[in-house]
A = this chain, B = another copy of it.
């Protein structure tokens, strides 16, 4: 019998989502387990994961019809199938875990394919979302950090070692803001959820400009969005500044792989109304003439609740 279903697993710092997916990208059954209650015991986590995958397949009524399991995990390496030194996963924070091999063993040999979360998002967008039918695009995930997945000629770019696509750590400002990675001036230090809070904080601290944000202790990127929605001038300028930096970076990415589109996903991408124009203008202003006006900036078309599972599941089709 042809196997027409796949399982997608999205490993996050607190929870891991599991779903059974069909060829159209419908999630037929899903479940969630904790990722953070196993301490350093990777084996125990993988036991629980394998069991829940089994339960999920049975509850979808698809026993024996699953082609494989695709996993998106922080610091997941496609070539080695390992999750290595992922700071937010206690069981992989100080070691390399042979995630794909161990999970496949526990699932009776079902093929398991692993990659990082941003690559999984790109695969999902290509299989079921905004990039369907595209062979050349770049996925940028704007979340707590900035991740990326690069598709060239219909294939995910993994590079020599499996770690390609770390565009959040390209430099946007020489000797700029300190980034969590240890470098200075990274895109992620400006254009992540954390980055825009830093921008707003710097501007509030450096001026007397009135802003609704002044009354919120420890405001979040969501608070900046809400303030912008309400017409707060400073909050609006924060998005303009952020969109400008993103657009400039996109122009550099286009010079690399000449994609048809840049596709955005993640919490910050919800601020489309404030980011889109400054992004598009800054990108076009910094592109060579051959590309000006020709490269699209698109937003994910996957339902946010399903997107991570769908992205991971897309890996299992190949």
Contact across chains for A163 and B290 when beta carbons are under 8 A apart = yes
Chain copies in complex:
2
Contact across chains for A169 and B258 when beta carbons are under 8 A apart = no
A291 CB within 8 Å of chain B: yes
A248 CB within 8 Å of chain B: yes
Contact across chains for B286 and A160 when beta carbons are under 8 A apart = no
CB neighbors of B among A259-307 (8 A): 259-260, 286, 288-291, 294
Contact across chains for A165 and B135 when beta carbons are under 8 A apart = no
Interface of A is mostly: loop
CB neighbors of B among A160-194 (8 A): 160-167, 169-174, 181-183
Contact string against B for A residues 32-66, beta-carbon threshold 8 Å, 1 for contact and 0 otherwise: 00000000000000000000000000000000000
A253 CB within 8 Å of chain B: yes
Contact across chains for B259 and A159 when beta carbons are under 8 A apart = yes
Known: A152-B159, A174-B173. A164 touches B257 (CB 8 A): yes
Contact across chains for B288 and A150 when beta carbons are under 8 A apart = no
- Across the interface, A181 reaches (CB within 8 A) one of B171, B260, B288, namely B288
Contact across chains for B258 and A159 when beta carbons are under 8 A apart = yes
Contact across chains for B171 and A159 when beta carbons are under 8 A apart = no
Contact across chains for A164 and B251 when beta carbons are under 8 A apart = no
- Assembled-state Cα–Cα distance A288/B170 (Å): 9
- Across the interface, A253 reaches (CB within 8 A) one of B158, B256, B286, namely B256
Contact across chains for A167 and B257 when beta carbons are under 8 A apart = no
Contact across chains for B257 and A159 when beta carbons are under 8 A apart = yes
Contact across chains for B257 and A150 when beta carbons are under 8 A apart = yes
Q: Would you give 6 A-B contacts (Cβ < 8 Å), ordered by A?
A: A136-B159, A161-B258, A161-B294, A165-B256, A167-B256, A253-B256
List 14 additional A-B contacts (Cβ < 8 Å) besides A152-B157, A152-B164, A160-B258: A150-B256, A152-B152, A152-B159, A157-B256, A161-B290, A166-B255, A167-B256, A171-B248, A171-B251, A172-B174, A173-B174, A174-B248, A252-B252, A253-B256
